[in-house]
Structure 1
Amino acid sequence: MTEKFVLEMRGETSTISNFEELFDFRYNLSSLKILNLSELTELRVIWSAPIQVDYFENLYQLIVQDYRRLRYTFSPTIARNLPQLSRLGIYNCEELEQLIEKDQTPSQHHLQPICFPNLKQITIKRCENLKCLFPITLADGGLQKLEELTLSGVFKLEQVFEGDEGYVSKVEEKVIHLPQLGFLELDGIPNPVSFSPVGYHFVFQSLCSLEVTYCPNITTRFSVDSEKSVHARTQASQSVDEVNGETTFPIGSNMVWYKN
């Protein structure tokens, strides 16, 4: 089978026979809107060449599938320069461990935080070695338009949002809102997994559908308050403390909840 990917520029679709051609000057990549990458089975890195970050300023859909050896999806530089990205789908990338490569640059060298201001839909399925989705710092203000999040068959996932518990007060929770999130699905994660580190409290005030299935070792407690907002708090242990005015789902059980 020929390895290829398809890109769309201003409504026109092109098929490229090998990855290097993507950076050929024949293509006006500043107009690129849709990038579908599939069956490049031996490729380890997508953004492997020095490129201008404004090449992808209009990209709104990225689909990656059947990349057997891919280790990460974005370099930190690319992740900081995708202002229009709206849909992200990753499927069957068995060696993928993280979406954003660990930044090796000293923090004082980049003042711009990673942010996806228009990202609405994230779907990741059958990426069995994925360890986390995004750093917790990205969740805190960097995903304000996220509407749908689906993680399925990510067997080794440890945290949806990864972070250091040492940065959170031992007395007061760190509250993070995902104000537009309407659909959340976590499915088929057998290992110990949490939505966030201990000490973080996520609030989903717009959530209409919550499905947490076949995640027997999850350490995050989900609850619904009187205003029908959903809360996610990660427990230091399997003990469950009651929260006044909230209906709490048993940790580790299958949860299927729809807002009436």
Structure 2
Amino acid sequence: MADVRNLKAEIDEKKSCFNGWCPNWGFRYWMDTEMPIPRFFSSFETTESACNQITEALKKDSTKMVGLHGLGGVGKTTLAKSVGNQLRQQKIFDKVGIATVSQDPDIIKVQGELAKSLGWALNEKDEKERADRLRLMFSESKSSKILVILDDIWKQLDSEKKLGIPVGGRDNCCKILLTTRKKSVCDSLGCDTQIPLSTLTPEEGLALLRKNAGIDVNDSTLNDVSKEVAGECKGLPLAIEAVGSALRGKRFNEWNLALHNLKAAKLYAIEGVDEENLDVYGCLKFSYDNLNDDNSKLCFLLCSLFPEDYEINLEVLVRYVVGLTWYQAESIEHARSLLRGTIEGLKAASLLLDTELKNSICGQLFHLSDTIPALLKHGLKNWKKLGIRRLGVQVVFQLEAIIAEGQENNLFPCLKEVQLENLRELQVLYHVGPMHNFSLQSLTYLTVDGCTMLRRLFSSTFARNLLQLEALYVWNCFELEQIIDEDEDEDEDHLQPVCFPKLKRISVGYCPKLKHLFHISVAPSLQKLKYIWIIGNDELEEVFWHKDGADVTEYNEIVMNELGDLILSDLPNLINFWPAGYQIPFPSANNVIVDVPSFVQVQKEIDDSKNSGAHVNS
């Protein structure tokens, strides 16, 4: 009871002198909860040595900043959290805060994570104001010793100016432990002590693999092959955990096959990843390839579309899963239960990690390992079909989240079919800057139906890459104004025209704001076109159009030799099928239905079709 009274008195006192910045009882409980350590964290001589060095360095009064550096997947984050837990338990530090910086740091997000981990409210919106507020809160907490863990730093960062973390002041109450893959980052930030975290020794790696694979200590049949498998993991704990989990309960022949597959899974080039960091990616790819079912793979790839280090909410994923109809679920609750099982499987495979805020009021949170995002470009390469239905998303391909500006992007090289149905809030299919070179170069079938807020379908840059497109169906898009939207920064005189050399079928219906389908420059490429069905588009004036309209005097004939079916119906404002100066005969048409009483431009083609014996209704 005395301890309880002392704790309450301390909290009341801090609430008074900190003007309410001190956390409430519930938050204090969360503050005293240890940072979670992944299952694969074990005490080995390698990790113990680094742990002792960090602890001794942080205990020194002269130390302001300690840098922990090592390969991706070697266990830097896990070790940093373990050290933080130990130092708080030993009362060396009163508080331990943590924030993930990442390769492209979002300063607002980093400041928010840090404040929350220390139990502080940070309501300011501006980056500088938030830094000032954090600096003030650190100052008001100078009677407390605080350790700040800045995880996954990739480049120089002024922690005091940008984040608001005062280091090296007169009181020296705050110290920083940072983790990074690059020793040069420790040098540039002026770390007082730099500690390398080495890979596990062969003996340590083998022991960890056998532990995670559940190999019986008395089973000698797997001795040799397990040593070789452990060797392929290069002493990286994350890789060993992933491979061990995938091989749990497997027999000798399966271990031999796994060894072969591991060697074959080596990745020799991943954009943005140093060669020395590639080993862990091959092991994670092996873990992904060995997932038991397609739903697990799809769930993992869906998670990959969230930003790096993003805390993914289970309930958000539930909505996507229901919309994508992955599970044959009887209800949303049933789908939620199935999804939980899938997520637990991904965690067991070390492809997803828990966050510090498990079981929060908004649902379970988890995130990808920081080694995953670069691997995803390989993982997405086998997607062939994507269907999204009945969701409230505003952007389908939110590429800023996973692609850096200026990079060549080829995320879905095998995606052939996309179906977007009843996405009531969808406004654009993609959301990329002018420097992006994103394409769906294998896309053959695109269906867009019931996307009532969609304004445009393709940018001209995007459309130029759709050389394999065979069928385009666009229906019930009530706000759609353009099929192809010209890029604002394009110079029309120096660009190649949009071409659809394999397009066979076009069906556009009930898009009341659409005024034309394609620019006339597209027409010469439509030599494979067999079917055109245009119905119920109230404002449609031209099927093919030209900017200069009637000012075009040069006569051009573009023959569509393979067009067999033409249906034009319920188009009250249709003026032209082709613009002035052009004519588009279709000599092979055998089924022509033109239910537009005032429209006579294709009458000659209709008459020719009648004379050839084709079915014509006009």
Normalised-by-shorter TM-score class = 0.7 to 0.9
- Determine the structure 1 residue equivalent to 2:466: 82
Q: 2:566 aligns with which of 178, 181, 184?
A: 184
Higher-RCO chain (CA-CA 8 Å, sequence separation at least 6): 1
For residue 485 of structure 2, what is the amino acid of its counterpart? E
Shift of 1:107: 2.3
| Contact 1:129/1:156 (<8 A) preserved | yes
Distance 1:69 1:210, change over 3 A: same
Does residue 1:41 correspond to 2:420, yes or no? no
Does residue 1:161 correspond to 2:544, yes or no? yes
Distance 1:81 1:135 in 2: 17
Distance 1:49 1:117, change over 3 A: same
| Contact 2:439/2:466 (<8 A) preserved | no
Percent identity, aligned pairs only, is 32
What SS class does the counterpart of residue 138 from structure 1 fall into?
A: helix
| Contact 1:146/1:181 (<8 A) preserved | yes
Normalised by the size of structure 1, how large is the TM-score?
0.75
Distance 1:150 1:134, change over 3 A: same
Distance 2:325 2:587 in 1: 37
Matches within 5 A, 1:44-193: 44-50=427-433, 53=437, 55-107=439-491, 110-139=494-523, 141-163=524-546, 164-169=549-554, 173-193=555-575
Distance 1:109 1:136, change over 3 A: closer
Question: In angstroms, what is the RMSD of aligned CA positions?
Answer: 3.2
Shift of 1:105: 2.7
Shift of 1:12: 6.0
For residue 181 of structure 1, what is the amino acid of its counterpart? L
Shift of 1:199: 2.9
Distance 2:382 2:598 in 1: 46
Distance 1:38 1:206, change over 3 A: same
Distance 1:106 1:59, change over 3 A: closer
What SS class does the counterpart of residue 177 from structure 1 fall into?
A: coil
Distance 1:53 1:5, change over 3 A: farther
Does residue 1:196 correspond to 2:578, yes or no? yes
- Determine the structure 2 residue equivalent to 1:208: 590
Structure 1 stretches of 4+ moved >6 Å: 6-9
- Determine the structure 1 residue equivalent to 2:604: 223
| Contact 1:61/1:88 (<8 A) preserved | yes
For residue 545 of structure 2, what is the amino acid of its counterpart? E
| Contact 1:6/1:14 (<8 A) preserved | no
What SS class does the counterpart of residue 43 from structure 1 fall into?
A: coil
| Contact 2:564/2:588 (<8 A) preserved | yes
How many residues end up aligned between the 2 structures?
A: 228
Distance 1:108 1:47 in 2: 22
| Contact 1:93/1:126 (<8 A) preserved | yes
More helix by share: 2
For residue 49 of structure 1, what is the amino acid of its counterpart? V
Question: 1:110-143 deviations in whole A, cap 9, x for unaligned?
Answer: 432110111100001111111001001111x221
For residue 499 of structure 2, what is the amino acid of its counterpart? C
Could you list the runs of 5+ residues in structure 2 that have no partner in the other structure? 1-318, 327-379, 403-409
Shift of 1:175: 1.1
For residue 43 of structure 1, what is the amino acid of its counterpart? L
What SS class does the counterpart of residue 604 from structure 2 fall into?
A: strand
- Structure with larger Rg: 2
Question: 1:9-61 deviations in whole A, cap 9, x for unaligned?
Answer: 86865556654567576x95111010001122122211213496464110000
What SS class does the counterpart of residue 85 from structure 1 fall into?
A: coil
What SS class does the counterpart of residue 551 from structure 2 fall into?
A: helix
For residue 207 of structure 1, what is the amino acid of its counterpart? A
Distance 1:9 1:256, change over 3 A: farther
Distance 1:28 1:256, change over 3 A: same
| Contact 2:501/2:527 (<8 A) preserved | yes
| Contact 1:130/1:156 (<8 A) preserved | yes
Could you list the runs of 5+ residues in structure 1 that have no partner in the other structure? 231-245, 248-254
Q: Which moved more, 1:215-224 or 1:186-195?
A: 215-224
Distance 1:222 1:31 in 2: 42
What SS class does the counterpart of residue 558 from structure 2 fall into?
A: strand
More strand by share: 1
